Structure 1
Amino acid sequence: MEDNYKHPADERKVKFKSNTVSSKKETRVWTLLITVVTFFISILMSFFSNETIRYASTVVSFLIVFGIIIISILFDLIGTAATAADEAPFHSMASRKLYGAKQAIRLIRNADKVSNFCNDVVGDICGVISGTAGAYIVYKFSGEGSQVENSIFGLSITAMVASLTVGGKALGKSVALQNSNYIIYKVAVVTHFLFGRFKFVKTKKRWHNKKNKINKKKNS
């Protein structure tokens, strides 16, 4: 039996509209900026983790690795929630002037950048650093046993780091897709509390308001 949905009679091609995200100029600037930021963040995090593990005990070393994995999972959750969140409910919240609603709208409208920073920058950096830190733990504590014991210890650490990272991100993505609006709102509240009162944010808002007024006068 033929499937008419897959093979229409008129053989017309289905056209898909491209999603409007950012302009080409904004994309180039963001790509350059995030590349530089990633470079320096990776250096700082690698230096901090390696230097801390070097002088730390076994328990503290494992706690550092677990902490890096948790950070990776949390940021991956936020990035996934940003791409899945719905903007519409936050407009009604913003009209009622609820705390953090406007920031949530900005996060959703810049979901590509939020996802890139959270999933790719922080998430991938933490993934690489957690693996490196795990290897450093193996190198640090592997000289006490036999070769077989050291091999088993190294494989166990590597498998543990990989399984916790992948399993945690799988669980985080499921939670993010089910509670995307709630997660984004909580992130928006935190970002508004941390950055919303800075002077440069207010100056930027005033500049945009002046620009909008000038455009309205020109149009009228």
Structure 2
Amino acid sequence: MLRLLHESIPWSSKISLLTFGLAIIFSIISTLFRSGSSLLLSLFVVLFFILIGIIGDTIGLAAATSKEVHFHAMASKKVKGAKEAAYISKNAPVFSSFFNDVVGDIAGIVSGAASTAVVFQAAKILNTTNGSFLFIFLTVILTSIIAALTVGGKAICKTIAIYQSTNIIIFTGKSIYYMNRFLRFFSFKRPTKRMTYHRFKKTPNDIAKDI
């Protein structure tokens, strides 16, 4: 038990730091869109983070239920993204924890915080104050709607994730594949070993000069 606990500490530390960073990014995005925005845009932000949570939960469950052998067969047929999908399936516990616990939970927390701003904006439009019956009614209704959309969406997508895990993970693998291609296209080219060798290789004349 102590050995397993000791081995889990490095991964838990990385997950905590990653969660902290993503929480900051999500919170900044949510705050920027909510500050001085209209009620409709604030509602869109809430729905956006609900959708992110549902997608993260779906990918995490699909990674846990997928079969690595299917993606190796696709990779042998030169299917783009199959190698990335096989890597996801091979490291299913890591990816499942990331998408379910990190992405899903952060999106749920941020969507809850964003819903508070929606309540205050709606109360301002209806000219009601904090603590009034209408304000409490808006808070309860909006919180219930967000909970219903989140839980209902995840329930539907969990069924899809179990029976369509291969298609979901291969789509995720292709997304990673094309993302890497996109980043490489805009990255600076590094000098190859052959270029570096000829650049720093000394000629006989250079050696004679050094002597």
**TM-score between the two structures when normalised by the length of structure 1:** 0.75
Distance 1:81 1:156 in 2: 32
CA distance in 1, matches of 2:178, 2:33: 30
Equivalent residue number for residue 188 of structure 1: 173
Structure 1 vs Structure 2: percent identity of aligned residues? Answer: 33
Structure of higher CA gyration radius: 2
Aligned residue in 2 for 1:31: 12
Q: How far did 1:87 drift?
A: 1.4
Q: Which structure 2 residues correspond to residues 202-217 of structure 1 after superposition, within 5 A?
A: none
Aligned residues: 178
Cα deviation for residue 63 of structure 1 reads 0.6
Q: Which residue among 87, 95, 108 is the counterpart of 1:127?
A: 108
For 1:4-43, what aligned pairs fall within 5 Å after superposition? Answer: 25=7, 27-43=8-24
Q: Between 92-101 and 32-41, report the one with greater CA deviation.
A: 92-101
Distance 2:182 2:23 in 1: 28
Instruction: Tell me how far 1:151 sits from its aligned partner.
Output: 1.2
Residues 48-197 of structure 1 aligned to structure 2 (within 5 Å): 48-143=29-124, 144-145=127-128, 147-195=132-180
TM-score normalised by L of structure 2: 0.78
1:37 deviates by: 1.1
Shift of 1:165: 0.6
Task: Give the drift of 1:198.
Answer: 5.9
Structure 2 contact 42–117 (Cα < 8 Å) conserved: no
Q: Is contact 2:81-2:173 (8 Å) kept?
A: yes
Q: Distance in 1 between matches of 2:31 and 2:12?
A: 28
Report if aligned partners of 2:81, 2:174 keep a CA contact under 8 Å in 1: yes
Partner of 1:214: none
Task: Please say if residues 79 and 114 of structure 1, whose CA atoms lie closer than 8 Å, have aligned partners that are also in contact.
Answer: yes
CA contact 1:50–1:136 (8 Å) conserved in 2: no
Distance in 1 separating the partners of 2:33 and 2:166 = 37
Mapped partners of 2:90, 2:9: distance in 1: 18
Question: 1:138-174: per-residue Cα shift (whole Å, max 9, x none)?
Answer: 1333241361111111111111111111111111111
Structure 1, unpaired ranges of 5+ = 1-21, 201-220
CA RMSD between the two structures: 2.2
Question: 1:196 Cα shift?
Answer: 5.4
Hey, what's the Cα distance between the residues in 2 that align with 1:104 and 1:119? 17
